Structure 1
Amino acid sequence: MDYRTRSPNFRFKLPFALAPLALGTAFTLPTSALAQDAEADVAADERITVIGSRLSVRTATDGTAPVDIISGEQLAASGLTETARALQYAVPSFNFPSSSITDGSDAVRPASLRGLSPDHTLVLINGKRRHSSALVHLNGTTGRGSSNVDLNAIPISAIKRIEVLRDGAAAQYGSDAIAGVINIVLKDQYEGGSITLNGGQTFEGDGEQYKLHGNVGFELPNGGNFTVAAEFHNKNKTNRAGLDPRQQYPLVNGEPDPREDEFDRLSHHVGDAEFDNTSVFFNANLPLSTGELYAFGGVSDRTSQSGAFYRRALDNRNIIEVYPDGFLPLLSPETSDISTTGGYRFSLGEWQVDASAGMGVSEFQYRLENSINASFGPTSPTEFDAGTLKLEETNASIDFSRFIPFANNSDLAIAAGISYRENTYIIEAGDPASYENGGFDNRPAGSQGFTGFKPESEVDESRDNVGFYAEVENMLTTNFQWGAAVRYEDYSDFGSNTSWKVSGRYDITDELAVRATANTGFRAPSVQQIYFTNISTLFINRDGELVPEQSGTFNNISPVAQALELGNLEAEESQSFSMGLVWNGLDGLSLTIDAFQIAVDDRIILSSSLVPGDSPAVADALAAAGADNARFFINAVDTTTQGVDVVLTKDFDWGRNGTLGVQAAYGYNKTEIDDVNLPAILDGLETKLFDGVEQTRMTESVPRNSGSVAFTHDLGDLQTRLAFNYFGDYVLQNNAGLRTTFGGKWITDLSAKYRYNDQWTLSAGVQNLFDVYPDEQDPSNQFNGIFIYPNTNAPFGFNGGYYYAEVTYAF
């Protein structure tokens, strides 16, 4: 039987029999068995500190909440060229689906943890908050209405390890850490380096790519170091579109145009975008007599290109004099990320102090090529600057920590700190030709593929917040560790929040331990969700006549939102609970099992569009604002996510036959909608604003089951790796109500690496060895057979097999 208790502070839904065990344990350091290989390079007497704890540990399973530690070598060994994709294959609970024809989301794809929204995961670099992308995901991808950190802006060659805390940690790190925390630790070598050239293509012969990347370290005075890593990555597009069978040209004297027989029916682009990505990151520290200076940061610049829907020659959106055969609008956004952080660590009496400040800027410039503004007629430009989104973030903090004597001759770790953050969101209008109506022949206005941002969409708004936290941790006995944290944050735009966390671990025997955490969390509405707006003039066919309508996304400070009494966006609040078992035994076999529940209240969604016919109140609000339809961001949904993560590792020593490392991982998550809450003026519109399409996207578009089994064999200078990755069933629904279940698939990867000498290493491999594709869509949902595979939310993409080779020179 399920029992549910609700209060303003906590909500849980667990089998009642598990509650005493769950509440009887409480907080510590999160690690998991996946970390064993990552720690193999750490000296036996060196203690490492990872996210989620103020204490240090020696082994991967010494903690009370799960953390996956993936080394840079493990990421590189996969042969995957994107940081987010490599992380997806290393951590089953991390989802990074592929999408196509989703506007800007083709260039910056959303990623999520434990089946929650992309913005429910906090990303850190060297323990400091990383800024998110300026892009808002507006189309049919996972996390519609969210913005996420662009992990692919961080080159794999710069990464020493990645720590993934699969537990709520808002009390420790602040907003966004509802599903967990990803901490990227940058390389910090004193000398030497490497340079790698990687190249490959799909079995179909497209998607050719090459990546040149490397890193080098330098020694600084007093034992300091400076490391710089750089990457240039070029990738061509893939295309799995079906042939377009439709009539392309106007009839000639009532007969088909002869050009129909010669037209290239592969007119759409349904596949990965092509791109060029250049990035440079650095990491430095300089010990001084009084402490240590440190700094890190990087620059990333990406130009990508993807297609929109093909405009046929006979299409009203085409100008036949410009494109006699029709055209495919190309979105060619330019994306850039800049960040830098500096700080000073020093001792102040018994206290260790860390004072730091950093800034980050994300810029997303919409550009259109091979496009047209049909309302300008034959004189229309074919390339457009459709506007720019920009996010600026400044962070400053000072942290204090120390140990003091405690009960049973143990030490109590105490930490406290103050943080300040300012976020600014900017929208710059595009070229006038990208949004103006030229008045030609009553044709649609705006650049085709993406209508430019109008001057009335421009914003330059900021918000700031101050946070205070305190945290304690203690190993009370050799068998029991506990901890607690509390955090208060005050925001200039919506108010304040207090969150807490308690956790603990008890070692029943030398091999078996139990662990659990309980916490509350929050996610402040992002400045993108508060201030994003994009208003377009669309021509709608009304009884055979094209009628202009004012349509778009309106922010919550707009007249439309005020007339609908939406109020300001509020913080999402969560209540999380986890419990787990850790077992180390049988000659190096380790196993962790962690169950979790995350209840989130007032989740922010991007609504469907409201029109005057929905209700008299809506009609009045739209009329007063001069809008014909509107969608907006709103706190509307309560959800509960439950799941379990299992990780198992074992190393085998086969003597003269080498060593074999085995890793297996499984993740399960299920999200249910508990309630949909709307302002009174919108009563009865729940299924309109949050329809079946969006409900399915939130609860079933991510596989509930995922897993992997990997075998790594080392024999002298030769290493081979065989991995099986499972992506379970998922469901998508279209606007007509058709629900399609896409079956689970196994993806097999095989690679080999040979170390020729101390300098040269050769590698080759195959990803998706058996050329597995997702299930095909229902024919009624293929848009005339063009969209054969799901173009959104495909967990492992739809490119089929891929083979590659690479060579590395170390120095």
Structure 2
Amino acid sequence: MKRISIIALAVAGQWAAPAVYAADAAANSNMEKISVVGSRIAMRTATDSVAPVDIITAEQLEATGLTETARALQFAAPSYSFPFSAVTDGSDAVRPANLRGLSPDHTLVLVNGKRYHSSALVHLSGTVGKGASNVDLNTIPMAAIKRIEILRDGAAAQYGSDAIAGVINVVLKDNRDGGMVTTQLGQTYEGDGEQWRIGANKGLSWSEDGYVNISLEAQHKNKTNRAGLDPRDQYPRLADGSRDPREATFDRQNFHVGDAEYDNLALFANGAQYFGENKFYFNGGISDRETHSGAFYRRALQDNNVPEIYPDGYLPILAPRIKDYSALVGYEFDLGKWHVDSSAGYGKNSFQYRVEDSLNASYGPDSQTSFDAGTLSTDEIDLTIDASRYFAFYNQSDIMLAVGAAWRQNGYEIEAGEEASYANGGYQNKPAGSQGFGGFTPESEVDESRHNTAVYAELENQLSEAIYWSAALRYEDYSDFGDKISWKLAGRYDFNDNFAIRATANTGFRAPSVQQLYFTNISTLFNPDPTTGQLVPTESGTFNNLSPVTQALQVGKLRPEESTSFSLGFVYTGDNGLTITLDSYQIDIDDRIVLSSSLRASDSDVVGAALAGTNAESARFFINAVDTRTRGVDLVVAQQFDLGSLGELKANIAYAYNNTDIQDIHLPEILDDLQGKLFDNIEQVRMTEATSHHTGSLGLTHHLGDFTTSLRASYFGPYTISYSSTGDKEYEGKTTVDLSVAYAATDTLTFTVGAQNLFDTYPEKRPSNNNYNGIFQYPLTNTPFGFNGGYYYAEATYRF
């Protein structure tokens, strides 16, 4: 067998970009087909791979007409879900996403094959992935992306922690000359959500063998609002019991239920300098985003209002500022027959809580109206080195051996907000803290870190034209919970040029994140003592595993989640260009980490005793409590048609099915009698039914002369939300249709007009007995495509 000289190098289990520089357009075209994830032997396409891989090009992302990277990915890959949420605190700014219906933190994200850091935010409201922290893909501008590769298979033995559901690898643009500028304007059919986006990309050569590719993107979007009218009394009744005359003129669309307003600015760079066969490479980026979303409206008659400041009530606005930084440098070189790659990377994400149009009612008329409520931040350092080479093997084939090591440190910090955001001013026994989001107290502050070391080895062999196999083994040692070993076996057999079968088996793990280990949010409340009338401080909130409360409840230290996965797939490649891939899988996860429901002191003597020393009314915490099994099927069908004088048509059908079942719920012995409260039906339904089991899409792209027309129908199946007052509610599935037409006015200038959700489809409305007096017309969380309705846009792109 001929040795393949171009390899996708790996760094301690993380795939690096191919060690080759494409000097012309034809080479670049071929490079688009390379699957970096899933195999260290390059030139494998999605249909050649041993595990299912989606390769989504920049053109496919741009064709969606969407300006957010994460949302565009949802419509390009049905197995990836990016559900909508509103009035969910910080999750309005950094929405959770997931792969194969699992938790957001079960998917590992790479940039150019290297691990990318996560968001500092912990999702605490009723969203999918409650208790998780995910990577914020929207920190990576679409203008910087060359392609995105999604490995839909467990890969912890290759990549380490988090790769239970799969891997998303974002490949940055690397052209050394030329560039593009694109701008888009649009708004919803309702006339809100106006937005603009400007993106620019430029390749620059500083030497014959060196380049840097720079991308800059700026975005602005106005809010959308689908809140119903508030029918409730807003003002205290008059002395005779009649309504205040101001009720007749009050603007009753006083809530904000929809997309947040946001401004985003991002800069990314990707470059390299070649020294013969060796290469120094680097990439990094900066992102700065500010959003504005609404909390619950405070009516004029409520105790948490001060009429001297807001005579008509007020809507607190959460205005977090999210800053993200990343930088990576590496050097590839040959040492004898070994190819060595070493790299060092750093990433940081900070989430500063700010509250506007608010007040601290306990300060009375002297209260300020905007607050710094504290900052969450996380950072990550990655040091990696690996080496790979080929050896002669059986049947005149070559076997590739890759070995490597990595060291990683993760840090997490909570900074308290300004005093007025949490303190009690003592005014008329009114509630303390900034309304909308109470500030982090000094008692909530943490500054902790943990590190781990990993070593791995992998074998990969194309034994014959028909047989390919690989095996991987990885050992990791963490400073906080100990060590872990993961393995993977994969194989593929090609019966002929048209039909192949592929299968994988692997174990995996996900280490508890530093957010789950150290996040705490203790709110201090002051309530009058019923006997003395004096204000008595009480605490309520989330306690981490360092807290005496969780230790008294014998929750124990968080352990890694452990998985066992199997997949079996079939690949058909027709002589006429038809390709079909069908892959089934099963993923068993033990000891999944969940954020418990709130336990009150009155729930049991044990809880009461644990809370007694803190004056806390309730507590919730992270715990390894659930075993699950997820089964699913992914189908992808693609075909290209030559229509002669009528042009060229590309068709793609994708379907994804997954279903998660809870196998066991296990709690500390002293909490066994609280199982129904600690992980209640609401949380169980959120884990198993909140994501659609069935999703699919039909995409058609037609080229005729200077015109390119894209039509996409996306189906989102039924999903269920559990409500405490009215039980479970299943929402029906819906189909949305997107249409765009692009006209190439010149070789360099293209104009596009399009519509997302062309037929203005909305999700099913909430039942009348559970819509908060008609204000919340649609589910606030987990709606697969949101409730903004149709959106139209125009775009111009200049390439040079």
TM superposition score normalised by structure 2: 0.95
Q: Deviations along 1:167-197, whole A, 9 cap, x unmatched? A: 0000000000000000000000011101011
Q: Aligned pair 1:263/2:250, yes or no?
A: yes
Match of 1:465 in 2: 452
CA apart distance, 1:482: 0.4
Say which of 622, 633, 643 aligns to 1:633: 622
Deviations 1:16-41 (A, max 9, x none): xxxxxxxxxxxxx9xxxxxxxxx998
1:219 aligns to 2:208 (yes or no): no
**Aligned counterpart, 2:714:** 725
How far residue 770 of structure 1 moved from its aligned partner, in angstroms, is 0.5
Which residue of 239, 245, 270 maps to 2:225?
Answer: 239
State which drifts further: 748-757 or 625-634. 625-634
Q: What amino acid sits opposite 2:105 in the alignment? A: D
- By how many angstroms is 1:223 displaced? 2.4
Q: Which amino acid aligns with 1:144?
A: K
The 2-side partners of 1:277 and 1:756 are apart by: 30
Paired letter, 1:190: R
The one-letter amino acid of 1:437's match is N
**Gap change, CA 1:215 and 1:692, over 3 Å in 2:** same
2:778 is matched with which residue: 777, 786, 789? Answer: 789
Cα gap change, 1:250/1:321 in structure 2, threshold over 3 Å: closer, same or farther? same
Give the letter for the 1:138 counterpart. L
Aligned to 1:26: none
Q: 1:613 aligns with which of 576, 584, 602?
A: 602
Identify the match of residue 453 of structure 1 among 433, 440, 458.
440
TM-aligned CA deviation for residue 538 of structure 1: 3.5
Letter in 1 for 2:544: N
SS in 2 for 1:685: helix
Partner of residue 370, structure 1: 357
The 8 Å contact of residues 215 and 230 in structure 1, kept in 2 or not, is answered as yes
Paired AA for residue 228 in structure 2 = G
The equivalent of 2:187 in structure 1 is 201
How far, CA to CA, are the matches of 1:747 and 1:132 in structure 2? 31
Counterpart among 708, 717, 730 of residue 741 in structure 1? 730
User: How big is the shift at 1:220?
Assistant: 3.2
Q: Shift in Å at residue 418 of structure 1?
A: 0.3
- Pick one of 259, 262, 266 that aligns with 1:279: 266
Q: What residue number does 2:687 align with?
A: 698
Q: Does 1:131 align with 2:117?
A: yes
> Is the CA contact 2:124–2:131 (under 8 Å) kept in the aligned structure 1?
yes
Pairing partner for 1:534 from 516, 521, 525: 521
Letter in 2 for 1:116: L
Runs of 4+ in 1 over 4 A off after TM superposition: 39-47, 539-548
1:406 maps to 2:412: no
SS at match of 1:530: helix
> What SS is found at the alignment partner of 2:427?
coil
SS for the counterpart of 1:89 is helix
- Residue 160, structure 1, aligned to residue 149, structure 2: no
Q: How far apart are the structure 2 equivalents of 1:527 and 1:810? A: 43
The C-alpha deviation readout for 1:90-139, integer Å capped at 9, x for no partner, is 10010001110000000000000000000000000000000000000000
Q: Distance in 2 between matches of 1:743 and 1:641?
A: 22
Q: Where in structure 2 are there 5+ consecutive unaligned residues?
A: 1-14, 16-24
CA contact (8 A) 2:502 2:568 kept: yes
Residue 47 of structure 1: CA displacement?
Answer: 7.6
Instruction: Say whether the 8 Å CA contact 1:136–1:528 is kept in structure 2.
Output: yes
Q: Distance in 2 between matches of 1:228 and 1:222?
A: 18
Q: CA deviation at 1:289?
A: 3.6
Say which SS state the counterpart of residue 270 (structure 1) adopts. Answer: coil
| Matched residues, number | 774
Please give the alpha-carbon distance, in whole angstroms, between the structure 1 residues aligned to 2:264 and 2:30: 38
Map of 2:216 onto structure 1: 230
Residue 416 (structure 2) aligned to one of 421, 429, 448? 429
Name the counterpart of 2:613.
624
Match of 2:37 in 1: 51
After superposition, residues 370-769 of structure 1 pair within 5 angstroms as 370-538=357-525, 549-769=538-758
Q: Secondary structure at the match of 2:616?
A: coil
Separation in 2 of the partners of 1:454 and 1:74?
46
Letter in 2 for 1:580: G
SS at match of 2:620: coil
Structure-2 separation of matches of 1:537 and 1:169? 43
CA 1:514–1:446: 2 relative to 1, 3 Å: same
Relative to structure 1, the CA distance from residue 156 to residue 446 in structure 2 (aligned partners, 3 Å threshold; closer, same or farther) is same
Distance 1:178 1:58, change over 3 A: closer
CA distance in 2 between partners of 1:390 and 1:771 (Å): 39
The Cα of 1:260 is off from its aligned counterpart by 0.4
* Structure 2 residue aligned with 1:145: 131
Change (3 A) 1:806 1:438: same
> For the Cα contact (< 8 Å) 2:404–2:456, is it kept in 1?
yes
**Displacement of 1:79:** 0.6
How far did 1:44 drift?
5.4
- Equivalents in 2 of 1:420, 1:591: separation in Å? 40
TM-superposed CA distance for 1:409, in Å, is: 0.4
Note closer, same or farther for the CA distance 1:93–1:810 as it changes in structure 2 (3 Å cut): same
Q: Secondary structure at the match of 1:695?
A: helix
What is the CA deviation profile of residues 231-275 of structure 1, one whole-angstrom value per residue up to 9, with x for unaligned ones? Answer: 000000000000000000011112211000010000000000000
1:480-529 Cα offsets, whole Å, 9 max, x none, are 10000011100001111100000100011221110000000000000000
- The Cα of 1:53 is off from its aligned counterpart by 1.0
Q: 1:97 is matched with which residue?
A: 83
Q: Distance in 2 between matches of 1:493 and 1:729?
A: 41
Q: For the Cα contact (< 8 Å) 1:710–1:723, is it kept in 2?
A: yes
Q: What CA distance in whole angstroms lies between the structure 2 residues aligned with 1:773 and 1:40? A: 44
Given that 1:724 and 1:748 are in contact with CA atoms closer than 8 Å, whether structure 2 keeps it comes out as yes
2:9 aligns with: none
How far did 1:318 drift? 0.3
Amino acid aligned to 1:608: S
Deviations 1:672-711 (A, max 9, x none): 0000111111111111010011000000000000000000
8 Å Cα contact 1:467-1:489 kept in structure 2: yes
Deviates more, 1:792-801 or 1:677-686: 677-686
The AA in structure 1 aligned to 2:243 is P
1:252 matched to 2:238? The reply is yes
The question of whether the paired residues in 1 share the 8 Å contact of 2:539 and 2:614 is answered with: no
Distance 2:66 2:681 in 1: 35
Contact 1:693/1:737, CA 8 A, preserved across alignment = no
Alignment match of 1:86 (pick from 61, 64, 72): 72
Judge conservation of contact 2:227–2:255 (CA < 8 Å) in 1. Answer: yes
What do residues 628-687 of structure 1 show as CA deviations (whole Å, max 9, x unaligned)? 211000110000000000000000011111100000000000000000111111111111
Match of 1:320 in 2: 307
Secondary structure of 2:783 counterpart: coil
Shift of 1:293: 0.2
Instruction: Give the TM-score normalised by the residue count of structure 1.
Output: 0.94
What is the distance in 1 between the residues matched to 2:72 and 2:320?
A: 24
**AA at the equivalent of 2:364:** G
Taking the aligned partners of 2:178 and 2:573, their CA distance within structure 1 comes to 36
Residue matched to 1:118: 104
CA contact (8 A) 2:46 2:52 kept: no
Q: Give unmatched runs, 5+ long, in structure 1.
A: 1-28, 30-38
Aligned in 2, Cα 1:250/1:46: closer, same or farther, shift over 3 Å? closer
Is this contact kept in 1: 2:349–2:377, CA < 8 A? Answer: yes
SS state at 1:684 partner: helix
| Alignment RMSD | 1.6
1:329 aligns with 2:309: no
Q: C-alpha displacement at 1:625, in angstroms?
A: 3.7
Q: What SS is found at the alignment partner of 1:84?
A: helix
Give the letter for the 2:140 counterpart.
I
